[in-house]
Structure 1
Amino acid sequence: MTKKYNQLAKKIVKYIGGKENVSDAYHCQTRLRFHLKDNSIVQKEELNDLDGVVQTLEKAGVYQVVIGTNVADVFEEVEKFIDVSGDNKNDKKPLEKVSMGNKIIDFVSGTFQPIIPALSGAGMVKALLALMIVFKITTVQSQTYIVLNMFADTVFVFLPILLASSEARKLNCNPVMAIGIAAMMLNPTWTQMVTAGKPVHLFDFIPLSLTSYAYSVIPIILIIFVQSYVEKFLHKVIPQAVELVFVPMLEFIIMGILAFSILGPIGSFLGNYLAIFFTFLSTNASWAPSVIVGAFMPIMVMFGLHNAVAPLGIMQMASKGFDSIFGPGCVCSNMAQATAGAIVAWRTKDPKTKTLATSGSITAYMGITEPILYGVSLPKKYPLVSTMIGGGLGGLYAGLTHTHRFATGSSGLPAILLYIGNNTMTFFINIIIAILISVVVTGLLTYFLSFKYEKNADTKLPIDNEKLIISAPVEGEVFPLSMASDDVFSSGALGKGVVIKPSEGKVFSPVSGNISTLFPTKHAIGIISDSGAEILIHIGIDTVDLNGKYFESFVTQGDHVDIGTELIRFDIAKIKESGYSTETMVIITNSDKYKTIKINSNQPNSGNSLLEPAL
């Protein structure tokens, strides 16, 4: 995410005894947590002196380095300097349960994402060639065209090799062996056998299906998936002294036979039916994919589903030479979202929103929509609705006109060049019209909706907004933060606030704002109020070790909530039975931004004024 904390992370690892001293590492809402082999060698004073480290402490055998709300960014850099094997990971590491659907999406994404640069580069070369033909700079018969086209086609011809390498890395098997197996299937000798059309039998009784695997996708994905298990099995049963020789040999023989006799033909069979499906869609419902992607692309991005849909376009490209499934709808959606952001930047008077919307819309026009989606469209909602309507209508036009792209690339404004091909400018013109429909519809909807939702668009914010009232998020007895059982909280190192001994296991939003962080274990939640106050609600002491047990959340990260919205429920009795304190800390983590913070530590009921920060 960022290299800002690279040096801090490097020093932290050094002072805790180096990577050799780390058997496990993870983080909670505010702290890095290490299971160390020898706590006595930790250089505690040096750690505490680091700029960026709030405090260090040791509890229940876990060495804790308190960082603050930017702990996730620091941990991302720490991971680069440690080497924790799966066998040594502590059972207390907070992990989210991953559904089968998410596992599939993660697998598809991890396989295809690494090869996107190659596909994009080849696609842009093809777009350049199309322009050269249109403007009569060269001809398809010229050596220049043939050579440049070879540059681009090579990526698609040897697509199985690229996929084999990325999939092997995703599945933690040997990528070189995977590349070797993929290369077998593209060997000129095999190509000659397929061209000759004569039956091929291995050992005179194992028939090999005469199938060409150039440009293919599904066969190699299936083959490397099986290879990952075969490889692990061979390493398990073959003695380490001879595995360097026999594992690769047996792997090549086993996977070669399976690839040409069973897995490759099955994958090819599935690929053929996928091609039939593509043909059916392009003939009978060409509008459907573009409408679905155009309208629901922001939702797909939020849940990671776009990573499962995008490869369908790549597969269609490999089998039919064009993509009408993903590209047209995606570019319409992205341009719609960029336009919604631009309108918000124009209409809002809030400086923070204006800056975020301006920069986010620029990156969205270049094809990167996450900043504008999570920073503006999702929190405000009305730009998201406008985007979905505009993107859907643009996608509808693209679908009805059978618009498709001839190469894979980004989905920003430069992507329109990918629609030049087949010696015609028709698809290029149609995608421009589709984008204009998306932009105009989205722009008008966002503009008119802004009169309702940007209530301060034409007036200055009232002076009362300089003072914020933070309500108590839980029922219970309120005490000064200095009385918290945890030294890090009681010292005020993370900010000013209070500690509440809850009488009811329900947490309500103390302000109107956005959920900035929700830890997987649900024991802590961060909220940024509409006026900019950063509030941390931390339920219990060391309750991260419960791994989410006895906690239930009702919101997700990025949600906008109103005062009184129920956020989390927790079982007070069960948590106490497990030996943990249920003290709940409410802290303003950006306390330094306020001149005064009035603390009302005698308010026992949620809904009452608890903290009053003033600029």
Structure 2
Amino acid sequence: MSKKYEGLAKGIVDKIGGIENIESMHHCQTRIRFKLHDDIKADQEALSQMEGVPKVFIKGGMLQVVIGMHVAEVYEEVEKIVGPKENQSENAERIHSEGKEKKKAFDVLADFVSSIFSPIVPALAGAGMVKALLALLVVFKLVQTTDQSYVIINMIGDATFAFLPMLLAFTTAQKLKTNPFLATVVAGIMCHATWGGLVAAKVPVNLFGIIPLFLVRYTGSVIPIVLVVLVQAPIERFLNRVVPKAIRLVIVPMVLFLIMGVLALSIIGPLGDYVGNIMTVIFTWLSINVSWAPPLFMGGLYSLLVIFGLHHGLAPLGTMQLAQMGYDAIFGPGVLVANIGQGTASLVVGLLSKDSKTKQIGTSAGITGLMGITEPALYGLNVPKKYPLIAGLVGGAFGGLFAGVTQTHRFATGSSGLPAAVMYIGDNTMRYFYQILIAIAITISVSAILTFVLFKRFEKDTELNAPAATELLQDV
């Protein structure tokens, strides 16, 4: 294994207060996120000045160290130094959290929503791509919707969405530190074929003749199972406390299944379904009456949310609309053009610049941005120089406006870069695919032209030196 990033990893650990100051850590696509015992011990200024660390900030109670596309390799070296830090006892976690400043409500909600949806994104992306492939087969008349081949491939693509409650039950239980397997079984009760048959029969169902079970189909739903696991977690902890260890293994699951099965089908599930229906009404209203607004907002402002680490809380909106309605029109299109805008701006600066370092950062980060990962472009070039950031925001807004006006739909989730265009193939038509290509073209054109004009205006014959870049970054 290469030790290329061993020095960087050691420097990061030293400057955040050492091994003893790290409570837990994990990484996403471009950042290592540390939960520290004492944030004050972390020298953020020294971290920001390290070669290979474009940006450092604290958000959502975590120190976020931006690395770039090679974050997994750096994280691996950090893990070698620190050792496993993910599993902490509840008591230790309670002790370490005492006296800490409480997180803001939005940060807590965003962290919770992001934590339960992020792990299932690969499954959703894969399922969506299967549906896109099926749409291509139909468009090119290679299969008919009445063929058995269509039915089987459609079933393969639908499986993730049909059993989405079971996936969410597992991730929600993990987040709440309760048994994910028991939670998945409860979700299985809600998705069971027998219950589906009772719902289809439309005959009132009463347990023991006194407890009405509302006829709601839960396959493909999102909100009901999340509410169920939120209730299940404290009940499970209570049962584990009061049931003797000798019989806990069999008694707790049995009692939990009976209690949560009844609650899920009688009260919590129907309540969650009602909330889900309200969200569907909102999504439908947005899609019909102001379809231009969400993509315009996301295209023009999403990159600013990325800078401050606020973007993860919005991603599940697209996933929820995808689960509820079969497509996403409020998150995906705007984010795609936002990333394209920032990537284009960075790439243009890199191509125009005479400074070798700026050229290297601009071109490499620009290409990465076009592929859907914009942090290297944002922190390495666009934010320090400011005008590429503005050009990318304007380009993203124009592209988002077109995508919104034309009601462009995405049928899968995944990285929002140029390869994501195929996720707009669906509903047995190529219409949305062509629309997103036009939106991308508009974004690239506007971002490139505006970056070129601003480059000539602000750069002239000199390049922004490193100290000035750092000063501008701090101003932003």
Q: What is the TM-score with the length of structure 2 in the denominator? A: 0.81
Once the two structures are TM-superposed, the CA of residue 265 in structure 1 deviates from its matched residue by 0.4
Report matched runs for 1:130-145 at 5 Å: 130-145=135-150
Whether 1:212 aligns to 2:217 is: yes
Once the two structures are TM-superposed, the CA of residue 316 in structure 1 deviates from its matched residue by 1.5
Structure 2 counterpart of 1:345, which letter?
G
Structure 2 counterpart of 1:152, which letter?
G
Whether 1:87 aligns to 2:91 is: yes
Structure 2 counterpart of 1:281, which letter?
L
In the other structure, the counterpart of 1:185 is: 190
After superposition, the Cα gap between the structure-2 partners of 1:365 and 1:266, relative to the gap in structure 1 and judged at 3 Å, is: same
For 1:30 and 1:424, how far apart are their aligned partners in 2?
52
In the other structure, the counterpart of 1:402 is: 407
Once the two structures are TM-superposed, the CA of residue 453 in structure 1 deviates from its matched residue by 2.8
Q: Deviations over 1:285-304 (max 9, x none)?
A: 11111111111111222334
In the other structure, the counterpart of 1:163 is: 168
Q: Deviations over 1:69-98 (max 9, x none)?
A: 579866554443466534246659996642
Once the two structures are TM-superposed, the CA of residue 139 in structure 1 deviates from its matched residue by 2.1
After superposition, the Cα gap between the structure-2 partners of 1:243 and 1:8, relative to the gap in structure 1 and judged at 3 Å, is: farther
Tell me if structure 2 keeps the 8 A contact 1:193–1:210.
yes
Q: Deviations over 1:249-295 (max 9, x none)?
A: 12111111111111100000011111111111111111111111111
Report matched runs for 1:380-395 at 5 Å: 380-395=385-400
Structure 2 counterpart of 1:34, which letter?
E
In the other structure, the counterpart of 1:314 is: 319
Q: Deviations over 1:220-243 (max 9, x none)?
A: 111111112211222222233322
For 2:320 and 2:160, how far apart are their aligned partners in 1?
13
Once the two structures are TM-superposed, the CA of residue 184 in structure 1 deviates from its matched residue by 0.4
Once the two structures are TM-superposed, the CA of residue 33 in structure 1 deviates from its matched residue by 4.8
Higher relative contact order (CA 8 A, sep 6+): 2
For 1:263 and 1:202, how far apart are their aligned partners in 2?
16
In the other structure, the counterpart of 2:245 is: 240
Q: Deviations over 1:135-164 (max 9, x none)?
A: 222222222222111111101111111111
For 1:8 and 1:329, how far apart are their aligned partners in 2?
35
441, 445, 469: which one pairs with 2:450?
445
Once the two structures are TM-superposed, the CA of residue 385 in structure 1 deviates from its matched residue by 0.9
Whether 1:231 aligns to 2:236 is: yes
In the other structure, the counterpart of 2:37 is: none
Once the two structures are TM-superposed, the CA of residue 9 in structure 1 deviates from its matched residue by 9.2
In the other structure, the counterpart of 1:49 is: none
> What fraction of aligned residue pairs are identical, expressed as a percent?
47
Structure 1 counterpart of 2:474, which letter?
D
Instruction: Please identify which structure carries the higher helix content.
Output: 2
Structure 2 counterpart of 1:163, which letter?
L
After superposition, the Cα gap between the structure-2 partners of 1:91 and 1:211, relative to the gap in structure 1 and judged at 3 Å, is: closer
- What root-mean-square deviation, in Å, do the aligned CA atoms of Structure 1 and Structure 2 show? 3.0
Q: Deviations over 1:294-349 (max 9, x none)?
A: 11111222334332222122221222221111111111111111101111111223
For 1:440 and 1:8, how far apart are their aligned partners in 2?
38
290, 295, 310: which one pairs with 1:285?
290
After superposition, the Cα gap between the structure-2 partners of 1:253 and 1:393, relative to the gap in structure 1 and judged at 3 Å, is: same
For 2:8 and 2:416, how far apart are their aligned partners in 1?
36
Report matched runs for 1:25-104 at 5 Å: 29=15, 31-34=17-20, 76-81=79-84, 84-88=88-92, 91=96, 97-104=102-109
Whether 1:559 aligns to 2:463 is: no
Q: Deviations over 1:179-201 (max 9, x none)?
A: 10100001111011111111111
| 2:416 counterpart SS class | coil
Tell me if structure 1 keeps the 8 A contact 2:385–2:469.
no
Tell me if structure 1 keeps the 8 A contact 2:169–2:229.
yes
For 2:475 and 2:358, how far apart are their aligned partners in 1?
15
Q: Deviations over 1:346-381 (max 9, x none)?
A: 122332222222121112221122221222222221
Report matched runs for 1:451-470 at 5 Å: 451-456=456-461
330, 336, 344: which one pairs with 1:339?
344
After superposition, the Cα gap between the structure-2 partners of 1:96 and 1:364, relative to the gap in structure 1 and judged at 3 Å, is: farther
In the other structure, the counterpart of 2:113 is: 108
Instruction: Please identify which structure carries the higher strand content.
Output: 1
In the other structure, the counterpart of 2:303 is: 298
In the other structure, the counterpart of 1:373 is: 378
For 2:229 and 2:16, how far apart are their aligned partners in 1?
40
Structure 2 counterpart of 1:126, which letter?
K
After superposition, the Cα gap between the structure-2 partners of 1:512 and 1:173, relative to the gap in structure 1 and judged at 3 Å, is: same
Structure 1 counterpart of 2:236, which letter?
E
In the other structure, the counterpart of 2:33 is: none
Tell me if structure 2 keeps the 8 A contact 1:131–1:420.
yes
Q: Deviations over 1:190-222 (max 9, x none)?
A: 011111111111222111110000110111111
In the other structure, the counterpart of 2:24 is: none
Structure 1 counterpart of 2:253, which letter?
P
Once the two structures are TM-superposed, the CA of residue 8 in structure 1 deviates from its matched residue by 12
Structure 2: tracts of 5 or more residues without a match:
22-45, 54-64, 66-74
Tell me if structure 1 keeps the 8 A contact 2:347–2:364.
no
For 1:136 and 1:384, how far apart are their aligned partners in 2?
44
Structure 2 counterpart of 1:246, which letter?
I
Structure 2 counterpart of 1:447, which letter?
F
Q: What is the TM-score with the length of structure 1 in the denominator? A: 0.64
For 2:327 and 2:150, how far apart are their aligned partners in 1?
19
Once the two structures are TM-superposed, the CA of residue 125 in structure 1 deviates from its matched residue by 1.2
In the other structure, the counterpart of 2:60 is: none
After superposition, the Cα gap between the structure-2 partners of 1:248 and 1:300, relative to the gap in structure 1 and judged at 3 Å, is: same
For 1:174 and 1:239, how far apart are their aligned partners in 2?
18
Once the two structures are TM-superposed, the CA of residue 248 in structure 1 deviates from its matched residue by 1.1
After superposition, the Cα gap between the structure-2 partners of 1:216 and 1:92, relative to the gap in structure 1 and judged at 3 Å, is: closer
Once the two structures are TM-superposed, the CA of residue 107 in structure 1 deviates from its matched residue by 0.4
For 2:293 and 2:97, how far apart are their aligned partners in 1?
46
Structure 1: tracts of 5 or more residues without a match:
11-25, 36-67, 469-510, 515-528, 531-557, 562-615
For 1:33 and 1:318, how far apart are their aligned partners in 2?
41
Structure 1 counterpart of 2:284, which letter?
T
312, 318, 329: which one pairs with 1:324?
329
Once the two structures are TM-superposed, the CA of residue 431 in structure 1 deviates from its matched residue by 1.2
For 1:381 and 1:434, how far apart are their aligned partners in 2?
24
Whether 1:253 aligns to 2:258 is: yes
For 1:421 and 1:146, how far apart are their aligned partners in 2?
15
After superposition, the Cα gap between the structure-2 partners of 1:454 and 1:180, relative to the gap in structure 1 and judged at 3 Å, is: same
For 2:82 and 2:101, how far apart are their aligned partners in 1?
18
For 2:311 and 2:261, how far apart are their aligned partners in 1?
33
Q: Which moved more, 1:191-200 or 1:233-242?
A: 233-242
For 1:335 and 1:75, how far apart are their aligned partners in 2?
31
In the other structure, the counterpart of 2:34 is: none
